[in-house]
Chain A
Amino acid sequence: DVKVTQSSRYLVKRTGEKVFLECVQDMDHENMFWYRQDPGLGLRLIYFSYDVKMKEKGDIPEGYSVSREKKERFSLILESASTNQTSMYLCASSSPGQFDEQYFGPGTRLTVT
């Protein structure tokens, strides 16, 4: 079974703090994704990565950056957290060429105060 784990289930940070959200997958997947889920807006893609050190902007990359130094790990970075980044963040991974079947982690509920 594919396992996608996220470093925290709940996180509370202050405005202006630098925030790291970590995601690890154990199935040797090339592709990894970061989404945020907000009420009434569904899941929106922030960034994705096809391979180590590669990244592509998704629909809403502003205010975020990512890092993929190892194949199994994909980090989402909020350089200076703001209250409008309070959200549920979901990480996913998939095999190459199988963009439909993404395996999601349980999510991190981030609150920025």
Chain B
Amino acid sequence: DQQVKQNSPSLSVQEGRISILNCDYTNSMFDYFLWYKKYPAEGPTFLISISSIKDKNEDGRFTVFLNKSAKHLSLHIVPSQPGDSAVYFCAASDTGNQFYFGTGTSLTVIP
């Protein structure tokens, strides 16, 4: 059973606009969350993380929001750039040992 879900397999956004990628989880014990980005033929690379003591974490154009009561996580990319086109995975953990990954959302930023 998928404990971390990304219900949108794909998303297209115009360059310069905001990209919002969503992630839902079922285990209320999860308190570490992160996002990875994956280009074709490469391994995923770490993007940004958040722990449950925060509801927002920002790094440049990337911001992650956490709503624990809704068990919902989102990644905002502003402004979106063509180089952001990739597959984005969210992941969650309760111990920091084992992370459960979502199925990924393929983002296309249109120039």
Contacts and interface: CB of A to CB of B under 8 A. Distances in A.
Nearest to B38: A104
A62 interface: no
B98 interface: yes
Chain A contact-residue range equals 20 to 34
A56 B97 CA distance: 10
A42 B43 contact: no
Contact of B43 (A41, A44, A45, A105): A105
Contacts, number: 59
Nearest to B45: A104
A92 B93 CA distance: 16
Interface residues of B, number: 25
A10 to B, nearest CB: 11
B93 to A, nearest CB: 7
Interface in B42-69: 42-46, 49
Interface of B: 2, 4, 6, 32, 34, 36, 41-46, 49, 89, 91, 93, 96-104
Given A99-B96, A100-B34, A43 B101 contact: yes
Contacts of A48: 97-98
A102 B46 contact: yes
